[in-house]
Amino acid sequence: MHEIVSAVAGKPVIVGISAPGFAAMRSLALKSMEFGAAGVMMTPPAAMRTDEQITGWVRNAARAIGEDIPFVLQDHPTATGVVMAPRVIRQIIEENPSCVMLKHEDWPGLDKLTTLRRWQQQGKMRSISILCGNGGMFLDFEMLRGADGAMTGYAFPEMLRRVVDLSRHDVEAASDIFDAHLPLLRYEQQAGVGLAVRKYILKQRGAIAHEALRTPGPHLNEEARVEVKRLLRRLILRDPDCGATSS
């Protein structure tokens, strides 16, 4: 962790601390802040089902790690099975001043974004940052619904930044870039093999030295590599400035 914080040269680092017990979360949170993290991220475990259980867990977790540590609330029901309605998220934000950001990964979740931003505009909820995940699959519309940006992975993170920046003043240009990358985004979203696709491309781009995933992670077979190279060739035609290589 210390090496990562040092390598990013002052950019804020958020560390995921979700764990079965509060003691482990507190230990990791304190160590993360000691190493220079800007904050931590947590999400209620799968056992939390009712609204009261969810809000109570977050309240207790925030107290356990220390209410002086800023935290991101991750809303990712497809992965955790925990469903947080907008009113639950609002309650968490209002009850926990140390909650400073929402990582929005509900799917579909565009209306949730609209609801939360409307409450902020109406003074019914304090303002927080909202960054989106899910591999950027809906980033173009999420920006239009009020998201501040992306907090996710993709083989071309520059595209995510360009879409975020352009969405503020040239929506059509943002959509053009996003549309050019959408076939590859979709391919990278395949369950199981998606991370292997991303690491394969990142290695081709020179960003990492090895594409291997930790065991038992999958590896790309020759057919998949051919498909990825075809997607990259087509991407270069539509977005020549993307920095892709199809070799």
Secondary element (H or E) of residue 105: none
The per-residue pLDDT for 179 is 98
Provide CATH code, domain 1-152.
Answer: 3.20.20.70
Mean pLDDT in residue range 65-94: 97
Mean pLDDT in residue range 203-213: 93
Q: What length does the chain have? A: 247
Mean pLDDT in residue range 10-34: 95
Q: Residue 244: which pLDDT band, with cuts at 50, 70 and 90?
A: confident
The per-residue pLDDT for 247 is 63
The per-residue pLDDT for 4 is 86
Mean pLDDT in residue range 169-192: 96
User: Do residues 17 and 25 lie in contact, with contact meaning Cβ atoms separated by under 8 Å?
Assistant: yes
The per-residue pLDDT for 3 is 84
The per-residue pLDDT for 73 is 99
What is the share, in percent, of the chain residues with pLDDT greater than 90? Answer: 89
- Tokens for 227, please give them: 């498909």
Q: Residue 96: which pLDDT band, with cuts at 50, 70 and 90?
A: very high
Q: Where in the chain is the domain with CATH 3.20.20.70?
A: 1-152
86 prior amide bond cis, ω within 30: no
The per-residue pLDDT for 99 is 99
The per-residue pLDDT for 5 is 82
Flag whether pLDDT at 54 surpasses 70.
Answer: yes
Q: Residue 246: which pLDDT band, with cuts at 50, 70 and 90?
A: low
**193-204 pLDDT, tens digit each:** 999 999 999 999
Report the C-alpha gap between 228 and 201 in whole angstroms. 8
**72-84 pLDDT, tens digit each:** 999 999 999 999 9
Q: Residue 50: which pLDDT band, with cuts at 50, 70 and 90?
A: very high
DSSP-assigned letters across all residues of 176-240? HHHHHHHHHHHHHTSTTTHHHHHHHHHHHTTS-S--PPSTT-----HHHHHHHHHHHHHHHHH-G
Flag whether pLDDT at 117 surpasses 90.
Answer: yes
Flag whether pLDDT at 108 surpasses 90.
Answer: no
**26-43 pLDDT, tens digit each:** 999 999 999 999 999 999
Report the C-alpha gap between 188 and 245 in whole angstroms. 16
Flag whether pLDDT at 184 surpasses 80.
Answer: yes
